[in-house]
Structure 1
Amino acid sequence: MNHDPDQRLVEAVRAGDEVAVARALADGADPDASVSRFQGSVLIEAARSGRSGVVGLLVDAGARIGPVGHFNVSPLRVAVLEARTDVVRYLVARGALPAEPTTRTSVLTEAVSYAMHRPRPAALATLQVLLDAGATPRPSEEAPLITAVMQPVAPAVLRLLLAKGADVNQRRSDGSPAIVVAARRGDHAAVDVLLQGGADADARDRHGRTALMHAVERNEQRVIAVLLLAGAAVDAVGADGMTALELARGWQRQNVQFMLGEHRAGRDDVPITRTVVSIVPTGVRFKGDPPMLHLLASVIDIALDDLGDDEWAARTGGNADTARAVAVRLRHEAVPASNASWFQLEVTADEFAAARSALVELAYGTTRVLPAGTSRLEIVDVLEELDRQLGP
């Protein structure tokens, strides 16, 4: 039997045995006893595991509620990161917030970020406890709403922040409104939540650009749709003289031009002031299981057989021989990844375009033959999944 009260306390805390914890403390155990060099004190261990009863016993016995050790780790911070809501509520009530070090990221900012990294109901509940307790970010940190939009977090977090009094028109430290930050990131859900909360759809950043202008430049069509449905001004003019429509023309974004009200759209060479750098990949790596790669090969073969070489070239702008070659490669050249269980194949931009064009033909074109056991809707799903990965 271990007669060392400190060691018995450590073992009792790890086991979550409140009776044994109380007994060890009564026998003279140090309430700040260390579990290990890296795990910190027994109070930190109890907070990490969510043992609110044990936490209460240790605090009542005089355990240090503030940060300890070389890394200034506190029981409150650990409880926040583990989303131990009951422990956070107890520690806050016992004065843990003022004891937090000013040299680290605030627990409020970490709670907002953690709602994205480990999303679960307890993370949202923990954030609410901190907001109700009046937790604030450090002066050098962004407002919680901006932090949330920049992550980006789920809409539920934004709704909670707004319900707790966050300014829906909050601006980032560089002057960008939250709605512009969300639009630049293509987060149409965040844009919608902000608009529903009363955000100014035409709020401008320090360059005079609106969320709609930024969304158009980045080809974020879902964001554009949300903004237009909310009444965002299409004819607003930025400080550089640009409008959303001029930006769409300059980037040759024909679909966006139609969304903005144009009835005819071409590939005009329109000079504009660009605020984003666009990249054009010259190669793609397919990753997946052989049956899915073989499905892509079958889609290409069917489209080629149905259209013929000339019609394929006319409809897709690609070379039929390139399409045939990539179909063969998809069937025979995919190799197992060296450090994972999937198969993969490196293809050129032209080869990828051939595979995508074939999917378009079977999803929306005149081709009526489909791979055995596959529906048209499944082909549509595959096409949309590829497009989402490509981005705007």
Structure 2
Amino acid sequence: MGSDADQRLFEAVYRDDESAAERALADGADPDAAHERLRVSVLALAARRGCEGIVERLLRAGAGVDPVGLRGVTPLRCAVVGGYADMARSLLTHGALAVEPTTNGSVLTVAVSFLSHRSRPANLTVLRLLLEAGAAPAPGEEAPLITAVMLPHAPPAAVRLLLAHGADPDQRRSDGAPAIVLAARRGDHALVDVLLAAGAEVDAQDRHGRTALMHAAERNERRVLGTLLLAGAAVDTVGADGMTAPHLTRGWLEHHHGLESGEERAARGEVPVVRSTVRLAPAGLRLAADERLLRLLADVVDTAVAGLGDDEWERRACKNAGLARSFAVRLRDGSAPSADGAWQQLDITVDELAVVRLALDTLVHGRSTVPNRLELADLLDELQRQHHR
């Protein structure tokens, strides 16, 4: 902020006073003025604060749409996050997309991701404007459809919009999981229906040979099962681990009665099932899973604690690192078969649940390379959804 006029221009932005901003520009304020302390341009600050009228005036005065500041804050990204459709349209018209950096991810992925928190019509309009302008994911990012399907609260309207702009309904995640499998795992029958209506292959298999029907059967997602069966999903597909949807359903029935999946009700008796999910029991905190998954969670806890170090782990968890290591030992050695042998189960405390969630979050969202990051992301997602039910 070099001049008095520049100072008045920033003050006008803080008050969202369009007339004052116009006067400051008329008095010689620099439309590209940068805030020395915040390290942000006046245009980006106006965009962040939702001052759409001031943004329009700055653009008419010749403000550049390039990022200013160490964090690469851009006016377009501010408009996208805020869901300011008219502002985004003006910025795109002035070439903002062409100078948008991708070091912190693409603005398209930001637009899709924020629909989980803000699914207002304006946010969908912003996404449409970006798609029409040719926005694309950055190298290494998942396809926008996959990002949308994996959102905690994926709005079907966003998926329809992506499909209308050329997204492949059979799009696969980088680990080979089809979008319809990801939607089925999450129990999102609305997204499964949207994908099927767009032509998604109902029997598409993930890298383990499992279909959406098999994942829905394992998780007792009844509405998803109904949607898939009505679409003609095959019940006899065999996964790489030898499982079929009816087999997984029978495994579920060993603990939970009443689900049918194309076969007669299963008889009682131990049913060996290869599982791809962990489960929190509704009564108390009981973790149930295959031995392999429990060992995987133990490795996750040990790796996260070792990677962060005791001091950083304790700062984040507000708990002694020894608790985490002891829990890892219990995950490996402390489980016991359930009464019918369908699960390995382990009674855990609230603190131990927090340990495994923090460890998963650390590896999934951390900077270090993790070979099975997507599998860990799926496990974290399932624990989060069950814990909040």
Q: TM-score, normalised by structure 1?
A: 0.68
Paired position in structure 2 for 1:182: 183
Aligned pairs for 1:41-120 within 5 A: 41-120=41-120
Q: 1:389 to 1:173 in 2, by over 3 A?
A: closer
**Aligned-pair distance for 1:242?**
1.6
Could you tell me whether the CA contact under 8 Å between 1:248 and 1:256 is conserved in 2?
no
Residue 324 of structure 1 corresponds to which residue in structure 2? none
- 1:213 maps to 214
- 2:346 aligned residue: none
| Amino acid paired to 1:146 | I
Cα deviation, residue 87, structure 1: 0.8
Equivalent runs, 1:1-392 vs 2, <5 Å: 4-35=4-35, 37-38=37-38, 40-152=40-152, 153-252=154-253, 259-280=260-281, 283=284
Give, in angstroms, the shift of residue 56 of structure 1. 2.9
Residue identity in the other structure for 1:161:
L
Cα deviation digits, residues 161-191 of structure 1 (max 9, x gap): 1111110000000010000011111111111
The secondary structure found in structure 1 opposite 2:119 is coil
Q: Is the 8 A contact 1:39 1:45 kept in 2?
A: no
In 2, the alpha carbon distance for the partners of 1:131 and 1:33 equals 30
Deviation at 1:52, TM superposition (A): 3.5
Distance across 1 between alignment mates of 2:36 and 2:232: 59
CA RMSD of aligned residues (A): 2.5
On the 8 A contact 1:175/1:206 being kept in 2, the answer is: yes
The CA distance in 1 between the partners of 2:52 and 2:167, in whole Å, is: 30
SS in 1 for 2:110: helix
Q: What letter matches 2:279 in structure 1?
A: S
Give the whole-Å Cα distance in 2 for the aligned partners of 1:227 and 1:111: 30
Going from structure 1 to structure 2, the CA distance change for 1:239 and 1:267 (only over 3 Å counts) comes to: same
- Contact residue 249 and residue 260 of structure 2 kept, 8 A: no
Which secondary structure state, in structure 1, belongs to the residue aligned with residue 253 of structure 2?
A: coil
Q: Which residue of 1 aligns with 2:315?
A: none
User: C-alpha separation between the residues in 2 aligned to 1:29 and 1:165?
Assistant: 44
- Residue 58 of structure 2 aligns to a residue in which SS? helix
Distance 1:126 1:253, change over 3 A: farther
Cα distance 1:258–1:9, how it changes in 2: closer, same or farther (>3 A)?
Answer: closer
Q: Is the 8 A contact 1:202 1:211 kept in 2?
A: yes
Corresponding residue for residue 290 of structure 1: none
> Is contact 1:219-1:256 (8 Å) kept?
no
Q: 1:42 to 1:231 in 2, by over 3 A?
A: same
* TM-score normalised over the length of structure 2: 0.68
Query: Which structure 1 residue ranges, 4+ long, deviate > 4 Å from structure 2?
Result: 253-258, 388-392
Output the CA distance in 2 between the equivalents of 1:26 and 1:253: 76
Quick check: 1:108–1:137 contact (8 Å CA) kept in 2?
Answer: yes
Q: 1:112 to 1:120 in 2, by over 3 A?
A: same
Displacement after TM superposition at 1:246 (Å): 1.1
Q: Is the 8 A contact 2:39 2:70 kept in 1?
A: no
**Distance in 2 between residues matched to 1:85 and 1:182, nearest whole Å:** 28
After TM superposition, give the deviation of residue 35 of structure 1 in Å.
4.9
Asked if structure 1 preserves the Cα contact closer than 8 Å seen for 2:214 and 2:244, the reply is: yes
Q: Which residue pairs with 1:312 in the alignment?
A: none
Which moved further from structure 2: 145-154 or 261-270? Answer: 261-270
Residue 123 of structure 1 and its aligned partner are, at CA, apart by 0.7
Distance in 2 (CA, whole Å) between partners of 1:89 and 1:248 is 50
Count of aligned pairs between the two proteins: 288
The 3 A distance-change label for structure 1 pair 27 and 58 is same
Q: How far apart are residue 62 of structure 1 and its match?
A: 3.3
Return the letter of the residue paired with 1:272.
Answer: V
Return the alpha-carbon distance in structure 2 between the equivalents of residues 94 and 271 of structure 1: 61
CA contact (8 A) 1:258 1:265 kept: no
What whole-Å deviation, never above 9, does each CA across 1:354-386 have from its counterpart, x for those lacking one? xxxxxxxxxxxxxxxxxxxxxxxxxxxxxxxxx
Aligned residue for 2:62, secondary structure, equals coil
Please report how far the alpha carbon of residue 253 of structure 1 lies from its aligned counterpart in structure 2 after TM superposition.
Answer: 5.6
Q: 1:122 to 1:254 in 2, by over 3 A?
A: same
Q: Secondary structure at the match of 1:97?
A: helix
Highest CA radius of gyration, 1 or 2?
1
Q: Is the 8 A contact 2:214 2:245 kept in 1?
A: yes
Q: Which secondary structure does the structure 2 equivalent of 1:259 belong to?
A: coil
Query: Residue 18 and residue 267 in structure 1: after superposition, are their counterparts in 2 closer, same or farther (change >3 A)?
Result: same
Point out where structure 1 has 5 or more consecutive residues left out of the alignment: 285-345, 347-387
Amino acid of the structure 2 residue aligned with 1:56? E
1:208 deviates by 0.9
> Contact 2:249–2:259 at 8 Å: present in 1 too?
no
Residues 280, 386 of structure 2: 8 Å contact kept: no
Residue identity (%): 61
The amino acid that maps onto 1:91 is: L
Which one-letter code corresponds to 2:90 in the other structure?
A: Y
Query: Measured at CA, do residues 17 and 281 of structure 1 come closer, stay the same or move farther in structure 2, by a change above 3 Å?
Result: closer
Q: Structure 1's 186 and 39: CA in aligned 2 closer, same or farther, altered over 3 A?
A: farther
Distance 1:14 1:264, change over 3 A: closer
Contact 2:180–2:200 (CA under 8 A) maintained in structure 1: yes
Change (3 A) 1:29 1:160: same
